[in-house]
Structure 1
Amino acid sequence: MTVSRTTSGAGEGAGERGGEGAADDADGGSGTAWTDAWEVTLASAPARRRGRVLQSALREAVRSGRLAAGTRLPSSRELAADLGVSRGLVTDAYEQLTAEGYLRSGQGSGTWVGDAVRAAARGTRDRAPHPPGARADFVPGTPDLSLFPRAAWGATHRAVLARLPHRALGYPDPRGLPQLRTALAALLTRRRGVAADPERLLVCSGVAQAMTLLGFALRGRGVRTVGLEDPGSPENMAVLGAAGLRTVPLPLDAEGLVPGAAARAGVGAVVTTPAHQFPSGIAYSAARRTELLDWARSVDGFVLEDDYDGDFRYDRAPVGALQGLDPERVAYMGSVSKSMAPGLRIGWLLAPRELTEELVERKRTMDLGNPVLEQALLADFVEQGGYDRHLRRCRLAYQRRRDTLIAALDEHFPGTEVSGIAAGLHIIAVLPGRYGPEARFLERAAAAGVALQALAYHGTARPDDGRVRLVMGYAHQSPSDITRGVRMLADAVARG
């Protein structure tokens, strides 16, 4: 299957084009101008998956802003004709997205992108998914910022600033401060099992910049389409799209990417989270890790490994990074966003040799390098053991919070299944069907001030078993807040 995203500049004025089309035809317009803004090809998708692919493409077009709030969509008849599918398939997609709040419709007035999407899209762009004023917040993605080692960080800051030579405050090496690259290479080799050469390590402003750099480098090599895990992080689609790449969803099962998925999709690279897949929580099996590397070698492709929370495993030692098995096929990305604080904006990229020089030049032209003082600070913090001490403290706190959340769900929502390995900053909680339907469950939670995120937000799968599937973050809350939040949620559901 192929999902084609917006061509350059097509996203601008999408709402205006939709309005013009509607004016030309009372049933929604010809659709030609509208489909200039996005395109989805369903012919190669299995018949049973075409509805889900269409829904996913529409949903992501709305989330990313390519279909702006107020845009009028073509009639179901015309879109079906454009895509070569049945009208019923399009009607089902419109109805599903209307129920989810992405679209709105009225008797005889057509189908439009909903106004409520403006706030959701703005929140995604601002990377502020935690709603202000929530009485309980289970939205995943943030560590406990109160655990940030302020005293140790402040002492290190004073020591580093006192000894940093004046010349070090000039324009930095775009790869990063040599001291930090050396310290990170040693740390990642020791903790994550990577093959880390400091000369091939770039210091970046987080994984988002690392992936942007890789996107430009891959496009320069002729790659046009990248595979994304389904479910996965919605941000990856936007980041790679900004680098001019199309993305396609690749299905997962309990062991990792479904065998042959990347080959069937014809992609040139795959973004993956093999140590602790986000959001499903699985760890890739040895067989799937091997298969993914075999695919990359066979097509001269690359695996983009996002090791977003690899240090947090609670039942055993963490699984080593995929990059250590083939450094020339795997680009390894990580950051301190989950281990310390996202506001530090420090990450790293270990690149295959053939991409390194282009990535360094891209980094230089993009921002002339990361701030020197913060790099020197982190280097000293790592070298003096402060980073390891901080991770130990966080790991103990987060393990307790995970246990607290599971116990609270077991008490207040009997029959809840928690999937995935004991790791990271979130769980997948699947509540029995008696608490559904999911849309109503989420409405009750929101009305009670409990912020939640459905698993459906992250992928195309829409199981029809009636159960409620949630991605629940726990790291940023105290155990007492977790217990209180689950109780509030149970009370809201009981009140109906």
Structure 2
Amino acid sequence: MLYINLNRKSTTSLTQQIYEQIRGDILNRELKEGERLDSSRGLSSTIGVSRNVVLEAYDRLIAEGYVEVRPRSGTFVAKGSSLPLHENNVHRDQRMFRTDSEPKLIDFRGGNPAIDQFPRKKWGQLTKEVCGEAPDRIFGYGEPGGIEELRITLAKYLQRVRGVHCDPEQIMITQGATQALRLITELLIKDGISIAVEDPVTDEMRNIFINAGADLFPVPVDENGILPEHLPKGKKLGFVFVIPSHQFPMGGILSIQRRVQLIEYARKMNNYIVEDDYDSEFTYEGAPVPSIQGLDPERVIYVGTFSKILSPALRVGYAVLPAHLVEAFRNLKWFHDRHTASIDQLVLSRFIEEGYLDRHVRKMKKIYRKKREILEKCVLSSFKEAKTIGKAAGMHLVVDIPGATFTDDIVNKIKEKGVHIYPVEQYALKKGMHKQQIIMGYGGLTKEEIIEGVEELKRCLDMNKYRQ
């Protein structure tokens, strides 16, 4: 798989950047002779550019002899196109692969689901059935907004589970929530217009907005979510980005009073609210709070994904848009990647319609609740003065340890001992308010890893005297 890092603010064209990075990987033997490259459609979808941009880069590589096209097989790195490795390159290649003798990292990253629980057997069965029974149109070019079957199924599901009000035509299927947010930003943000974002906010969302050329206006949050009274009064915004059902990273659930304030603000300022609802299915205390979109479908753009519910490998997300934005969004989606994989969409539609998603969510809620209880018990027994924040939903906690200061130095020392933690401070736009807080995700960890990870965290903090 190709890894391309594009700088959209660079004066170098996107085609040139793609060409140079692939060429460099071939010359340095990051890509080996005979290795198959991603398809032009696949790569364009992954990096969010027009397929023509990738085709131009590939054509140049073919013309210069770096790659060759094999009929009905694909595009491959040509023989004799790479340079002999220098010693320092050999060492670098060796460092890229972790051997079995190296210790496994206990990664407390928030939002990592339990991959081992993915319903492989049922998903495989449905995929086989779909491939055997689907109409021919599923194997051709699809609609940019997604196949009708999935949009109809999703509209019913979101109304039932999240209180989202929409027609199937208002649902646009995307390559995960990442693409949905990128397209929304392109659609609504023009020169000189900013986005109001919760602070702290996930770095992934922040990077999407900045990479699309937007300026960010940070709005503080407390343990109950965004504080609407801090939204700008005289500044033009394209939209307000919020995660109201389980704010990341602080975990707050936004009250109805603040939701109403947000809607009143959007109406008064004539802008939109973009609601990211990434893991609201996993609520452990009380019933899930319905979406903001259900309160005002004309002012709220609702974004969801199946990466956290099922698996990040399933690149299917969606945006629910006000009707007047649908056509413009559909056009943008077409230019990005034509459409999301139709077979995956049809399998997902069947998975939802036949009740398997509901069963999976019920199963995972039990598993995640148990992991949450283990993590909270371990943390509070190891750090008597600590408190946990945002434990009512999701797959992570924020742990506040008075007297601790989670600098880069201490985080790296803890990582050297095999435990990866994530300071809240690294997600903050305004620094200095979260130095003693860390994110501890538990979704992808076993009970044993959680216990071992917290024990190692305590040893490291005590040893380095970063706690009072």
TM over 0.5: yes
Q: Which residue of 2 aligns with 1:286?
A: 256
Distance 1:154 1:273, change over 3 A: same
Per-residue deviation, residues 97-155 of structure 1 (Å, max 9, x unmatched): xxxxxxxxxxxxxxxxxxxxxxxxxxxxxxxxxxx954321121210100100011111
Distance (whole Å) between structure 2 residues aligned to residue 325 and residue 261 of structure 1: 21
Distance 1:464 1:217, change over 3 A: closer
Q: Is the 8 A contact 1:223 1:268 kept in 2?
A: no
Q: Verify: 1:224 aligned to 2:224, yes or no.
A: no
Distance 1:8 1:481, change over 3 A: closer
Distance 1:437 1:391, change over 3 A: closer
- Count of aligned positions: 371
SS at match of 1:229: strand
Q: Is the 8 A contact 2:275 2:302 kept in 1?
A: yes
Q: Which residue of 1 aligns with 2:459?
A: 491
Q: Verify: 1:238 aligned to 2:236, yes or no.
A: no
Q: Which residue of 2 aligns with 1:303?
A: 273
Distance (whole Å) between structure 2 residues aligned to residue 469 and residue 134 of structure 1: 24
Structure 1 residue 327, shift from structure 2 partner: 0.5
Q: Which residue of 1 aligns with 2:450?
A: 482
Q: Is the 8 A contact 1:186 1:196 kept in 2?
A: no
Distance (whole Å) between structure 2 residues aligned to residue 8 and residue 179 of structure 1: 39
TM-score, scaled to structure 2: 0.75
Distance (whole Å) between structure 1 residues aligned to residue 141 and residue 192 of structure 2: 32
Q: Which residue of 2 aligns with 1:95?
A: none
Distance (whole Å) between structure 1 residues aligned to residue 346 and residue 255 of structure 2: 37
Distance (whole Å) between structure 2 residues aligned to residue 344 and residue 143 of structure 1: 12
Q: Which residue of 1 aligns with 2:20?
A: none
Distance (whole Å) between structure 2 residues aligned to residue 11 and residue 292 of structure 1: 40
Q: Which residue of 1 aligns with 2:64?
A: none
Structure 1 residue 480, shift from structure 2 partner: 1.7
Structure 1 residue 414, shift from structure 2 partner: 1.5
Q: Which residue of 2 aligns with 1:456?
A: 425
Structure 1 residue 235, shift from structure 2 partner: 1.8
Q: Which residue of 2 aligns with 1:155?
A: 125
Greater shift in the superposed pair: 442-451 or 321-330:
442-451
Structure 1 residue 196, shift from structure 2 partner: 2.4
Greater shift in the superposed pair: 261-270 or 355-364:
261-270
Distance (whole Å) between structure 1 residues aligned to residue 406 and residue 223 of structure 2: 25
Q: Which residue of 1 aligns with 2:402?
A: 432
RMSD (Å), alpha carbons: 2.3
Distance (whole Å) between structure 2 residues aligned to residue 360 and residue 436 of structure 1: 46
Q: Which residue of 1 aligns with 2:441?
A: 473
Distance 1:397 1:169, change over 3 A: same
Distance (whole Å) between structure 1 residues aligned to residue 335 and residue 103 of structure 2: 40
Structure 1 residue 361, shift from structure 2 partner: 1.1
Q: 2:216 aligns with which of 247, 252, 256?
A: 247
Structure 1 residue 445, shift from structure 2 partner: 1.2
Unaligned stretches of 5+ in structure 2?
Answer: 1-6, 14-101
Structure 1 residue 401, shift from structure 2 partner: 0.4
Per-residue deviation, residues 340-398 of structure 1 (Å, max 9, x unmatched): 01111100110012211100111112111111110110000001111111111111100
Distance (whole Å) between structure 1 residues aligned to residue 436 and residue 269 of structure 2: 39
Distance 1:452 1:216, change over 3 A: same
Q: Which residue of 1 aligns with 2:353?
A: 383
Distance (whole Å) between structure 2 residues aligned to residue 272 and residue 365 of structure 1: 27
Q: Which residue of 1 aligns with 2:377?
A: 407
Distance (whole Å) between structure 1 residues aligned to residue 168 and residue 270 of structure 2: 24
Structure 1 residue 236, shift from structure 2 partner: 1.9
Q: 2:148 aligns with which of 173, 178, 182?
A: 178
Structure 1 residue 421, shift from structure 2 partner: 4.3
Q: Verify: 1:323 aligned to 2:293, yes or no.
A: yes
Q: 1:371 aligns with which of 335, 341, 362?
A: 341
Distance (whole Å) between structure 1 residues aligned to residue 348 and residue 412 of structure 2: 43
Q: Which residue of 2 aligns with 1:87?
A: none
Q: Which residue of 2 aligns with 1:26?
A: none
Distance 1:409 1:421, change over 3 A: closer
Distance 1:327 1:417, change over 3 A: same
Per-residue deviation, residues 284-331 of structure 1 (Å, max 9, x unmatched): 111111111001001110001100111010111111111000010000
Residue correspondence of structure 1 range 331-346 to structure 2 within 5 A: 331-346=301-316
SS at match of 1:313: coil
Q: Is the 8 A contact 2:244 2:254 kept in 1?
A: yes
Distance (whole Å) between structure 2 residues aligned to residue 428 and residue 389 of structure 1: 28
Distance (whole Å) between structure 2 residues aligned to residue 366 and residue 217 of structure 1: 13
Structure 1 residue 462, shift from structure 2 partner: 4.1
Q: Is the 8 A contact 1:305 1:323 kept in 2?
A: yes
Structure 1 residue 223, shift from structure 2 partner: 7.0
TM-score, scaled to structure 1: 0.71
Greater shift in the superposed pair: 135-144 or 468-477:
135-144
Q: Which residue of 1 aligns with 2:113?
A: 143
Structure 1 residue 402, shift from structure 2 partner: 0.5
Structure 1 residue 216, shift from structure 2 partner: 1.5
Q: Is the 8 A contact 1:334 1:347 kept in 2?
A: yes
Q: Which residue of 1 aligns with 2:36?
A: none
Distance (whole Å) between structure 2 residues aligned to residue 402 and residue 188 of structure 1: 26
Structure 1 residue 200, shift from structure 2 partner: 0.6
Per-residue deviation, residues 191-233 of structure 1 (Å, max 9, x unmatched): 111112101101100111111111121136x772111110101
SS at match of 1:263: coil
Q: Is the 8 A contact 2:425 2:432 kept in 1?
A: no
Q: Once the two structures are aligned, what percentage of the paired residues are identical?
A: 32
